[in-house]
Structure 1
């Protein structure tokens, strides 16, 4: 391998014998264009936790995924007027958050599109389905430029500074490609599925959580596992979620064992274990999030436990009042407040300093399965079980 002190661009260099062929498929079909607002009265979720909202606080509703759950959503990294969604209807759309028009459809999937994302510079968008088909499209031409078939895909993640795509699969493999050339590296699994993954801010390492509770820190250049956290120190159940702090020295993992663990990336040692409050028989830590500006972390569980943790003291700072079914947590770009999505169909904003609920946005008639916030903090876009994706304005809270 190359000298580890060479420039960062060389750190991502891949050997020629690791190149896989590019699969050429037909150009995408751009004929679909449906931006009507969703007016259907969809059934409530099986959990019965969502009900018809008394109001719709959204600025726009995208209903391209008709009669089908919208599973995932991401916003363009530099242009908040562009979003991509994937659904249970085996379809993915790139669309305008300004007027709801379809920019183009990412065609060719034959199973639920469960992961989507834009490259760091927004020039490409990737879509992946549960069968394992991953496709990448150029934004300027709306044309497919790369495709690959793996095992069942659990997640995809773009590198934050290079055209490099990472993916984790149900059989435990982690794949990395240069796009669109298709140069390939694999991070060999050992049986349990690679349930979640994050590329760390240094661009040279990734953290992957597995279904058996293990956590591995991978070197992206050597494709070797530098550290493995398991056994006595690791989680006792599947790792469902990951986040890193602002400089990537720590990673926070949440699992089905109702714990969240803070792991030091350099040493591979668990430095804190947070035992989250269990509020239901069937409960798990569904989302974790590091503040990028304060020594805080937030954990959310399916049972409705929402806790703000103080990292230096390793203790609960605040317990927030929240209904069951927390799906995802994201901090605001400013770092003082954070947002949650819930199976009751609402989005909420909390103040991390006192744990108080600041605002609540309604409009969905079923659970919110995913959401994303624009880089400028102006809007939030959801993906819901009610077949719609909604755009909510995040105008500053009145003081």
Structure 2
């Protein structure tokens, strides 16, 4: 690596005016090499990193992609007053789901309200009377909703007139839901662990097929600050952060493949995966409480052979 300072000048025969030592340039995070920490799993380097600038708190809470990866030109406008006349206090947390022409908002005390865009207006649908909902997501092209509750019930209901039925009982607060691209499985973030639930069963019930947990995440009272997220067309799972290192898991085997190492004193609050268009690589993006955005290569799917030690080379 080239030293950042210029070579020391050669001294002349006589002593002249003392030259001031030039200042070292500010090195960006992507080029500066942090002191490596030791984990039970390998870690990889990021592709690029950038810090948000501005006044006030800059913590990144959520990251989303659109279909073609192009930038949005935002025009802010009021869509509807979802909380009008709702019995809720300032401490009550609501959650939202959006897909195509429909919006769902879950209120802890009154249930889930759904609106569908029809003939130029947002039309209210029949509410889902399930209290203490902490996560919701549209499935089946928006014709149904899945949700999780504070007491660990994973439920399903068609829109607008479906029957509410339980998929699974997980005995802990459900914090996040992510749908596998094939639509066959849900990834459920449940505090200090996450589970893979098959949702296309003949008996219309969910089946817990895999669990993602380790002793390091189990000792944390709050678990993952960003929930649980699928990557690489559902072959990988991102869940848990240990000392700033985000864990990447093999979905089928349920083991840690490697980690995405961040600054230890910063907290990772958002993770998103973009699989990319055809014939182009996707990527991961992480965001921290300190306003750091970092891009990573997509995890490479493991070979599908019988030997568990064989794995595709990861692009660092």
Q: Give your verdict on TM over 0.5.
A: yes
Residue matched to 1:214: 193
Structure 1 gaps, min length 5: 1-48, 52-70, 78-96, 318-399
Which aligned pairs between 1:144-183 and structure 2 lie closer than 5 A?
Answer: 144-159=124-139, 161-183=141-163
Distance 1:235 1:305 in 2: 26
TM-score (norm 1): 0.48
Aligned residues of 1:299 and 1:306 also touching (Cα < 8 A): yes
2:249 to 236, 248, 263: 263
For the pair 1:240 / 2:240, whether they are aligned, the reply is no
SS class of match (1:186): strand
TM-score (norm 2): 0.59
Which is further off, 167-176 or 300-309?
A: 300-309
Greater strand content: 1
Distance 2:64 2:106 in 1: 13
Q: Show CA shifts across 1:153-177 (max 9, x none).
A: 2221112624111222222222221
Residue matched to 1:64: none
SS class of match (2:210): strand
Aligned residues of 1:75 and 1:118 also touching (Cα < 8 A): no
Aligned residues of 1:240 and 1:256 also touching (Cα < 8 A): no
Aligned residues of 1:155 and 1:167 also touching (Cα < 8 A): yes
- 1:299 deviation in Å? 2.3
Residue matched to 1:105: 81
Residues 207/75 of structure 1: CA separation in 2 closer, same or farther (3 Å cut): closer
Q: Show CA shifts across 1:220-247 (max 9, x none).
A: 1230101012244856431232332252
Structure 2 gaps, min length 5: 1-54, 68-73, 301-312
Which aligned pairs between 1:1-399 and structure 2 lie closer than 5 A?
Answer: 50=56, 100=77, 102-106=78-82, 107-111=84-88, 112=92, 114-119=94-99, 121-122=100-101, 124-131=102-109, 133-140=111-118, 142-159=122-139, 161-211=141-191, 213-222=192-201, 223-232=206-215, 236-237=219-220, 238-241=223-226, 242-255=228-241, 258-280=244-266, 284-293=267-276, 294=281, 296-310=283-297, 311=299
Moved runs in structure 1, 4+ residues, more than 6 A? 71-77
Aligned residues of 2:234 and 2:251 also touching (Cα < 8 A): yes
Give aligned pairs, total.
Answer: 229
**Root-mean-square deviation (CA), in Å?**
3.9
Distance 1:132 1:161 in 2: 25
